[in-house]
Structure 1
Amino acid sequence: MTGFDIALLSASFVTFFVVIDPIGVAPIFAALTDQSSAKHRRAMAIKSVLIATGVLLMFAYLGEWLLGALHISLDAFRAAGGVLLFLIALDMIFEKRTERREERVENMAHEDGTPMTSEEDISVFPMAIPMLAGPGAIASVMLFMSGEGATVGGQLAVLGGLAANLVLCLVIFLAVGPLMKLIGDTLAAMITRILGVILAALAAQFIFDGIAGALL
């Protein structure tokens, strides 16, 4: 079949919605940019989605060859991503990120004497990788493109489902920051810690899945 496949579009949209989880990732984005300006938050939202798009497109067409050439299994990728996510979760729980931001502002300055900004670039890690373009999304796009998406129409359907989810992520990211600002610092700190615990559990699941997949 070479025509556009509506059923495959629906299946890919639902699959990517589950593995990317735009609703679940949005509060993490808000927590990581809780002290950022609106301009920086908007830039991080756009940049993280664009980078995730590039990564997923790369794996869609070159994923199997790249991992094979490097002798890296998807399970190893999943476990490594889980470890990195767990470190981020610890920072969120114990507010180490806030401490580092304050120390950076106090100890660093531009050569012209203007103060350094405390805003961090979280677009590549952890937002684009592994929150958006994580092991689940990478595995899904590789499987879709090598299976039912082998035809031109199938590829367009798969990429359409992926694009719809990434656009949804961008829209939610742009809206969730101002909303989180309205709730206040105390409640925001509490939510950040709760999300840190949830992220730690997600990271542990990534690690367990990677280890289990490697042993089976």
Structure 2
Amino acid sequence: MNTEIIKIILAFLVLINPFSALTLFLDLTRGYSMINRRKVARIACLTVVITISFFTLVGETLLKALGISIGSFQLAGGILVFLIALNMMNGEGNPVKPDQENFDVDHVQGAPPTTAAAVVPLAIPMMIGPGGISTVIIYSSQVSGILQISAILIAGVLISIFCYLALMAAGRISRLLGDTGLNIMSRIMGMLLAAVSIEIIVNALRSLFPVLL
């Protein structure tokens, strides 16, 4: 189980990837005081942990209600995650996360820092999008028991804390790494994510075709 939790944390870290949201966070909070900037970061990261917790607890039930088998969803989710990994390794970023140019940042800046901007677009879908949500459902469907479910929830909390620390250090990280450093980091995370996606696909095939595998 320890190995599985490491996989979950790795998958969360790569898919949520707060570094991809640093520029948007800086734009959204330009001119804000440190107190208000922290408030935006807290709301965004709280949204991330709530989203992870919600789909951990009800994701499998939702699939059953829709008549979707776990194996089919795992295969679809694995393919989605693999495509995300390929794009990240090619330096194209996460294809299921929006371009920051699509957001009217100037309009958002005129609103109070506690508005929905911290939730949408910063937390959803910029930090946790379809790939992250799919991975949460996949991993939660593979475990049983309170301890294992709690482990996923704890992993979500740890990742959210990491996201908060990254957002609060957004200015320093951006200056330190620059566009080149962030691009290299994205490619490395893409390679790790590709390995995670293959694990998901193999488990899905094992579930769908137990005789063949």
TM range (shorter): 0.5 to 0.7
Aligned position for 1:38: 34
Q: 1:162 aligns with which of 148, 152, 156?
A: 156
Q: CA deviation at 1:65?
A: 3.6
Q: CA deviation at 1:15?
A: 0.8
> Matches of 2:14 and 2:174 in 1, distance apart?
27
Aligned position for 1:11: 7
* 1:141 pairs with 2:136: yes
The unaligned stretches of length 5 or more in structure 2 are 81-94, 187-213
Q: Percent identity?
A: 24
> Matches of 2:148 and 2:17 in 1, distance apart?
23
Higher mean displacement: 153-162 or 137-146: 153-162
Change over 3 Å in CA distance of 1:181–1:40 after alignment to 2 = farther
For 1:17-56, what aligned pairs fall within 5 Å after superposition? 17-56=13-52
Aligned position for 1:202: none
Indicate conservation of the 8 Å contact 1:16/1:137, yes or no. Answer: yes
Indicate conservation of the 8 Å contact 2:56/2:137, yes or no. Answer: yes
> Matches of 1:36 and 1:43 in 2, distance apart?
10
- Provide Cα deviations, 1:136-176, integer angstroms capped at 9, x if missing partner: 111111111111x2233322332232222111001111222
Matched AA of 1:133 = I
**RMSD over aligned Cα atoms:** 4.0
The unaligned stretches of length 5 or more in structure 1 are 105-115, 184-190, 199-216
* 1:85 pairs with 2:81: no
Indicate conservation of the 8 Å contact 1:60/1:141, yes or no. Answer: yes
Q: 2:118 aligns with which of 118, 123, 133?
A: 123
Aligned position for 1:60: 56
Change over 3 Å in CA distance of 1:35–1:181 after alignment to 2 = farther
Q: CA deviation at 1:24?
A: 2.5
Change over 3 Å in CA distance of 1:146–1:38 after alignment to 2 = same
Q: CA deviation at 1:117?
A: 5.9
Q: Count residues with an aligned counterpart.
A: 160
Q: CA deviation at 1:32?
A: 2.3
Q: With structure 2 as the length reference, what TM-score do the two structures score?
A: 0.59
> Matches of 1:133 and 1:84 in 2, distance apart?
9
Matched AA of 1:97 = V
Instruction: State the structure with more CA Rg.
Output: 1
Change over 3 Å in CA distance of 1:122–1:68 after alignment to 2 = farther
Indicate conservation of the 8 Å contact 1:35/1:119, yes or no. Answer: no
> Matches of 2:45 and 2:7 in 1, distance apart?
21
